Amino acid sequence: MRPFLCRTSVCLLMAGLLLTLAGCGFRSRPMVMKQAPLPDEGNVCRVAVLPFSNQCGYPLADTVFYRIFVAELLENGNYLVSQEGDVRKIYRQMKVIIGRTPDIEQIRALAGRLGVQMVISGSVLEMRDKAEYGRKLEPSIAVVVRILDGESGRTLWTTFVRREGRDYRKVMHFGVINTVSALAKRMSREILEAWFEEGLHRCSE
């Protein structure tokens, strides 16, 4: 089976641009592009995570990465994350299609109703863990994750990362990641660690 890759020109352009800016190849940490400062100098606790979009065709790629990422926010950031059901309810009320990022005014309305300072959205550009023509392929994932300001609705930070299971190979193959769920968990932690290094703070409430 062929790997599920991004098929849209928009995400291909974004991925290509970010890879170029990153110098291409494996980086020690995800690339964080800052468009504007975080609210309250990064001291936030109340966060909403929007349903991720699936830009790669891999079944449930958006759901897999979204739920793992939310779990890492709770475990490693101690954030007060809005319930998925509450977010989806507001989507229905605003008639926003799941998988599409609301516009600025809708982001502001959603953040106001949920009482959050920060909104996170994301897109899965690539995900694979299947065999191709009889060859076993190690899992790979590429994602773009954005931080948006709840008050203004503007995109503040954009983060890109692509990893393969073999990126974590150590001596005698120990450390290789063999499933997309394990890879998504590792990548989610790396994204959060990069954000913390750039100035986002863990919630202390």
The alpha carbons of the chain give a radius of gyration, in whole angstroms, of 17
Would the pLDDT of 61 be above 80?
yes
Class of domain 4-198: alpha beta
pLDDT at position 165 is 86
pLDDT at position 25 is 41
DSSP, collapsed to helix, strand or coil, labels residue 205 as: coil
pLDDT tens, 175-205? 678 889 999 999 999 999 999 999 999 998 7
Nearest to 196 by CA among 112, 67, 79: 79
**pTM value?**
0.83
pLDDT at position 7 is 47
Q: Is 189 exposed, middle or buried (0-12, 13-18, 19+ CB in 10 A)?
A: middle
Where do the domains of the chain lie?
4-198
Contact between 142 and 125 under an 8 Å Cβ cutoff? The reply is yes
The answer to which of 23-37, 100-114, 153-167 has the lowest mean pLDDT is 23-37
User: pLDDT grade, residue 130 (50/70/90)?
Assistant: low
Range 39-43, long-range pairs (CB < 8 A, 24+ positions): 39/117, 39/118, 39/149, 39/150, 39/151, 39/156, 40/117, 41/199, 42/199, 42/200, 42/201, 43/201
pLDDT at position 101 is 86
Contact between 177 and 186 under an 8 Å Cβ cutoff? The reply is yes
Residue in the block written with tokens 């110098």: 23
pLDDT tens, 66-112? 999 999 999 999 999 999 999 999 999 999 999 888 999 999 999 99
pLDDT at position 176 is 73
pLDDT at position 131 is 61
